[in-house]
Amino acid sequence: MARLEYSKKVLEHFTNPRNVGEMKDADSVGTVGNPVCGDMMELSIKVTDDRIADIRFRTFGCASAIATTSMLTEIVKGKTLKEAEELKWDDVVSNLDGLPPVKVHCSLLAVEGLKIALYNYYKKRGIDRPDLAPKETEAEHVHSDEGPSCV
């Protein structure tokens, strides 16, 4: 088995994750998982004045899954909803000073979890945002605030 090389930032976010835990009074939650690798991520957001005032996560997975979700929360906390919507997986990877190629999928999963939380936030307010709707792939189980659904 090949040894994976992780940046200092990945190791720091894995061993000391930021914004971890459940948010009881969340305005929205996005949950996403990949049954192939076993990673599961839950992102909860609190919105004030169209900004992400607080964000928390719970991730079950490898070091890269935890590090990418932790870094994502650091990036979007305090950002406007529009700014958060524009976040891309490579923004997360570059802020971590890279990931091993076989672990980049963790950053895609984390960003998808954020998009689902934003989608659910808008949906609760009667705003249709199909561009943020969960993507249909064979490798993901996506959960809305209304319960799990396999897509």
What secondary structure does DSSP assign to 71-86, as a single string?
HHHHHHTT-BHHHHHT
Let me know the angle formed at the C-alpha of 14 by 62 and 78, rounded to the nearest 5 degrees.
115
Residue 2 placed within a domain: no
Residue ranges making up the domain that contains 106: 8-145
pTM of the model: 0.86
Residue 151 lies in a domain: no
- Residue 14, domain member (yes or no): yes
Give the CATH number of the domain where residue 75 resides: 3.90.1010.10
Sign of the dihedral through C-alpha 87, 91, 93, 95: negative
For 76-119, what is each residue's pLDDT tens digit? 999 999 999 999 999 999 999 999 998 998 999 999 999 999 99
Task: Provide the annotated active-site residues.
Answer: 37, 106
- Amino acid letter, residue 77: K
DSSP string, 107-138: HHHHHHHHHHHHHHHHHHTT---GGGSPP--T
3-state secondary structure of 39: strand
Residue 3 placed within a domain: no
In a domain, 68, yes or no: yes
Encode pLDDT of 32-61 as tens digits: 998 777 889 999 999 999 999 999 999 999
Domain membership of residue 86 (yes or no) is yes
Structurally, the chain folds into a number of domains equal to 1
